[in-house]
Chains A and B, each alone.
Chain A
C-alpha cells in the first residue's frame, strides 16, 4: 500500500521517473541560488524575474508551439535582457536595483500577457503559468540537467566574490573588480533556473523551488554551507512529495510541489532551531555564557 503510493508511480511510469530526475536537478541548482537570493535580500527580485521572462517564453511559444527549447531560449533572452538592463541602470544611475527591476519586469510582464492573449488559448495559458510535468520528454530532461550543471559550475566560480559582495561590498570593490561581473552572472543564473523550472512548475511558481527551500534552511542553520545543503534537501523532498501528491490527486505538479514546500516552511517557522516560534516561546533556561 505504502509502496504503491510512494514508489509505485515511479517504477510504473517513465514520465514520473523523468519528472523526479528533473525536480532533483532543479533542487540541486535552484536551491543554492535561492539561498543567495534570500541572503542578498533579493527574494522578490527572483519573483520579479519570473514575470520578466514571460514575453520571451510567449514569443517562443508563438513561433513553435509548446516546444521547451523555443520557450527556454525566448525566456533566457527576455530574462537576460531585463536582468542586465535593470542591473546596468541600477549600477550606472544610483537607482536601487529593486526599483529598477520593478519597472522592467512590469513592462515585460505586460508584453508577455499581451502576446499570449493575442494567439494562445486558455489551456496554453494554464500550461505556461503552471507547467505540465506530463510533457517532460528525454530532451527536455537533458536541457534541465544541462542548465543545472552549468548553474553549479558558474556558482563555484563566482562563489567567493558573491559571498564577500553580500557581506561587505565596499571591501570587495577595493580588492577586486569581480563584484560587478559576479553579480551579473548571478542574475543570469537566476534566469536560467527560472526557465529551468518552467516545465515542472510553470512561470508563476518556478521561483518557489528556489525561495521556499532557502527560507526553510534559514530556520535550521547559521552556517552558509549547511544552509545550502538543507535547502537542496528540502527542495528535493518537496519535489518528490509534490510529484506523488500530484500523481495521486491529479492537481497540477507545480502547485503540488510548492504546497509541500510551504508545509515544510510552516513546520520550520514553528519548530526551527534558529529563531523558530516554539523555540522562542520555550527557550529553556539561559546559558552560562
Chain B
C-alpha cells in the first residue's frame, strides 16, 4: 500500500511551479531520499506532503494517513532560536497531538520526554535554552521531537546539513531505526555517498522528476547531470505550462 501518492502534482508559489507534474507513489515503510541541486524543489515537495503547501495543480494522497500520522522536521533556518524556550519544552511540543491546548504533561509524559532527550544523546541539556545549543545539538533536539511524535510518515528536510560526522552517524542510525520499525521516511539530502550507502530508493528532482526508483539505478552520472543543468527559471512573463496543453490535447 502506498503511503504517499502523487497524481500529476504541481507545487509552487504564486503560479510559479517549484515542482511540476510529479506522478508516482511512496510505498508504505519505504526509505526514500529526495535529491537535487539547490532550488530543485525538494523543500517545496516535502511541504506539499505534510500539507503546509497546497498543490497548484494535481493532488497528493496520503493513503489512510491524516496529519496526526506525520512528523515533519523543517530546515533549522526556519526556527527562531532566539526565543526563550528550553530544550525540554521544545521537545515536549512533539506531544501536541496528545496534549492540545490544555492537556497537562503528567509524570509518564515527563519521563517519556526525558527519555527521548537522552535517546538523542542530550542528557543533561533539558533546561538549556535552545539559543545556547550548537547546530548539531539543535538538530538532535529536532530529531527528539520527531521521535516523540511517534508518526507513521516521517518527513526530514535536509536533516544532516552542516553537522559533524558523529552527529550525522547518530541521527542516521535513528532514521534507519525508524525504517526498521516499518515507518515511511522521506528525506531531502545532499550527500550522495550517504544516499548510495543507506537509502534504497531515490527521487532525483529538478523542478520535476528526473528519475525515481532503486538508488543504484537512479543515481547515475547522467541523471545527476540532467538535474544539475535544470533550468532555475523564474519568469514573470512565462507562458502557461505547455505540459498541460499537451495533456489536454491528448485527452
A223 touches B13 (CB 8 A): no
- Kindly state the separation between the CA atoms of A270 and B74 in the bound complex, as whole angstroms: 38
Flag whether A262 is at the interface (Cβ < 8 A). Answer: no
Flag whether A96 is at the interface (Cβ < 8 A). Answer: no
Closest B-chain residue to A178, C-beta based?
A: B101
B38-53 CB mask vs A (1 if < 8 Å, else 0) is: 0000000001001110
Flag whether A132 is at the interface (Cβ < 8 A). Answer: no
A94 touches B85 (CB 8 A): no
Flag whether A169 is at the interface (Cβ < 8 A). Answer: yes
At the interface, is chain A mostly helix, strand, loop or mixed? Answer: helix
Closest A-chain residue to B99, C-beta based?
A: A160
Return B189 CB to nearest CB of chain A, in Å: 19
Q: What residues of B have a CB within 8 angstroms of the CB of A178 in the complex?
A: 101
Interface pick from B75-83, B114-122, B178-186, B239-247: B75-83
Q: A164-B93, A176-B96 are in contact. Are A170 and B83 (CB under 8 A)?
A: no
Flag whether A5 is at the interface (Cβ < 8 A). Answer: no
- Kindly state the separation between the CA atoms of A222 and B80 in the bound complex, as whole angstroms: 14
Closest A-chain residue to B52, C-beta based?
A: A173
Please classify how large the interface on chain A is, using the bins under 10, 10 to 19, 20 to 34, 35 or more: 20 to 34
Flag whether A174 is at the interface (Cβ < 8 A). Answer: yes
Flag whether B129 is at the interface (Cβ < 8 A). Answer: yes
- Kindly state the separation between the CA atoms of A167 and B79 in the bound complex, as whole angstroms: 6
B96 touches A157 (CB 8 A): no
Flag whether A161 is at the interface (Cβ < 8 A). Answer: yes
Closest B-chain residue to A168, C-beta based?
A: B79
B101 touches A167 (CB 8 A): no
- Kindly state the separation between the CA atoms of A168 and B73 in the bound complex, as whole angstroms: 10
Return A178 CB to nearest CB of chain B, in Å: 7
Closest A-chain residue to B81, C-beta based?
A: A167
- Kindly state the separation between the CA atoms of A148 and B218 in the bound complex, as whole angstroms: 62
Return A231 CB to nearest CB of chain B, in Å: 12
Q: What residues of A have a CB within 8 angstroms of the CB of B96 in the complex?
A: 160, 164, 175-176
- Kindly state the separation between the CA atoms of A178 and B129 in the bound complex, as whole angstroms: 25
B84 touches A39 (CB 8 A): yes
Q: Which of B52, B68, B70 has the most CB of A within 10 A?
A: B52
Q: What residues of B have a CB within 8 angstroms of the CB of A174 in the complex?
A: 50-52, 67, 70-72
- Kindly state the separation between the CA atoms of A167 and B145 in the bound complex, as whole angstroms: 14
B67 touches A224 (CB 8 A): no
Flag whether A3 is at the interface (Cβ < 8 A). Answer: no
Flag whether A37 is at the interface (Cβ < 8 A). Answer: no
Q: What residues of B have a CB within 8 angstroms of the CB of A166 in the complex?
A: 80, 83
Q: A175-B67, A176-B96 are in contact. Are A170 and B14 (CB under 8 A)?
A: no
Flag whether B61 is at the interface (Cβ < 8 A). Answer: no
Q: Which of A39, A161, A173 has the most CB of B within 10 A?
A: A173
Flag whether B112 is at the interface (Cβ < 8 A). Answer: no
A and B contact pairs by CB, cutoff 8 A, 6 listed: A160-B96, A160-B99, A161-B101, A163-B85, A170-B72, A178-B101
* Pairs of residues from A and B, 8 with the lowest C-beta to C-beta distance, nearest first: A170-B74, A174-B72, A167-B83, A175-B96, A174-B50, A224-B84, A168-B79, A173-B52
